[in-house]
Amino acid sequence: MAATAESVLKPDFKSQRKHFIFTDEHEQLRESIRSFATKELAPHAEEWEETTFPDSVFRRMGELGFLGLDKPEQYGGQGGDYYSALVLAEEIGAANSGGLAMGLAVQTDMAMPPILKFGTEEQKREWAEPAIKGEKILCLGITEPDAGSDVSGIKTRAVRDGEDWVINGSKTYITNGHRADVIVLVTKTDPDAGYDGFTLFLVPMDSPGVIREKRLKKLGMHASDTALLAFQDVRVPDTAVLGAVGKGFYHIMWELQGERLIGAAGCVSGAQRCFEKTLQYANERKAFGREIGKFQVIRHKFAEMATKIESARQMVYVTAWRFNNGEYPVREISMAKLHAARVACEVADECIQIHGGAGYMVEYGVERVWRDMRLNRIGAGTDEIMLDVIGRSYGL
């Protein structure tokens, strides 16, 4: 609709502001994912906080084509663009389960991209294709008890033994670690080669010597399963190498870019939902004779939150646009991830505050968002690592 004098003078705050990166098709996809998540996932969200979400969610989403939106058609994907992955990351928030969103993101945006990017035809057929169908579950193993942010400090060793490789070590904080069929595993293959001494492997989780040690209890993300894993003399054939021997560090740094951008999109969506829920509360709850939203301080809190969310959203969209156009915008991805994660935590915290005592109670669901969101400033590279990447990008 063209702007007329009247429409310019009377802003329409209700209008849908579709961002230029999205087409009508994306909007339809948005609708269908949202409706699926609302109808089929959200009703179980509370229960899954206790039990973790069931594997059947993968199969169901595979059936619906949601696990391969931006993946090639030849492996069962929908062949869509990167924006369709972004739409999934945003709309899966309607499931009201941070842990579920994370478990899915590990499948679609963390473990699968390296298989499709660096894998052989056989590896793609063996793992990516069934993963897109939701019949196989993937996980990704980077962090170790003594090496988190410092990826180059990992100690899990893969050693050549004839035609095979033998792997020893441990990995921790592994999402999907208990349910996964295969792990994309970062190992050290040449301790003397520095950054050129790392190699990725696709290790079937039922291989002898793979031990799923324990379920880790966490601050939030209770619907996801998080594992401490041990690898004891795990023997895999040479065909288990993913990508190039000695190039694992660079492969994983590439993987992290997509993971961070998708994570940032999830933060924006989570913050937006929390904002809306709290807005409704502020319109209903009364104190000192009026709705609390009518107090200037509360009104300004909302204004501040909305501005922060919008800034994070624009960063994510524009960075996604660069990414989709074939750029490798590491600095901007790091900025978007840093900013969106902080915004999400700040918004969730402010939403608790606006809810007052109710915000501290499980019943209202805000405290869960707060707990879930807090991971984003740690996972996929901490705030401090993002700041380091950004700072170093200026030659500092």
Q: How far is the CB of 276 from other proteins (least distance, A)?
A: 20
**357 near other proteins, judged by CB under 8 A:** yes
* Annotation says 259 is catalytic: yes
Distance, CA of 337 to CA of 379 (rounded, Å) = 10
Q: Which two tokens stand for residue 247?
A: 């190039």
Q: Pick between residue 114 and residue 381 the one whose CB is nearest to other proteins.
A: 381
Distance, CA of 311 to CA of 336 (rounded, Å) = 9
Marked catalytic residue, from 144, 259, 332, 367: 259
Distance of CA 266 to the CA centre of its chain: 7
How far CA 108 is from CA of 71, 142, 262, 270, in Å, comes to 9, 17, 10, 19
Each residue 286-325 as x (binds other proteins by CB under 8 A) or -, in order, gives xxx--------xx---------------------------
**393 near other proteins, judged by CB under 8 A:** no
Q: Pick between residue 88 and residue 352 the one whose CB is nearest to other proteins.
A: 352
Distance, CA of 117 to CA of 177 (rounded, Å) = 22
Q: Which value, in Å, is the radius of gyration of the alpha carbons in the chain? A: 22
**249 near other proteins, judged by CB under 8 A:** no
Distance, CA of 254 to CA of 232 (rounded, Å) = 28
Count of chain residues binding other proteins (CB under 8 A):
43
Q: How far is the CB of 150 from other proteins (least distance, A)?
A: 4
Each residue 182-221 as x (binds other proteins by CB under 8 A) or -, in order, gives ----------------------------------xxxxx-
DSSP 8-state assignment for residue 17: -
Q: Pick between residue 77 and residue 379 the one whose CB is nearest to other proteins.
A: 379
Distance of CA 202 to the CA centre of its chain: 21
Binding other proteins (rule: CB under 8 A), the pick from 359, 365, 373, 386 is 359
How far CA 226 is from CA of 63, 70, 175, in Å, comes to 25, 26, 5
Closest by CA to 232, choosing from 171, 184, 176, is: 171
Active-site positions read 259
List contacts with other proteins (CB under 8 A).
143, 146-150, 152-153, 172-173, 216-220, 286-288, 297-298, 349, 352-353, 356-357, 359-363, 367, 370-371, 374-375, 377-379, 382-384, 387-388
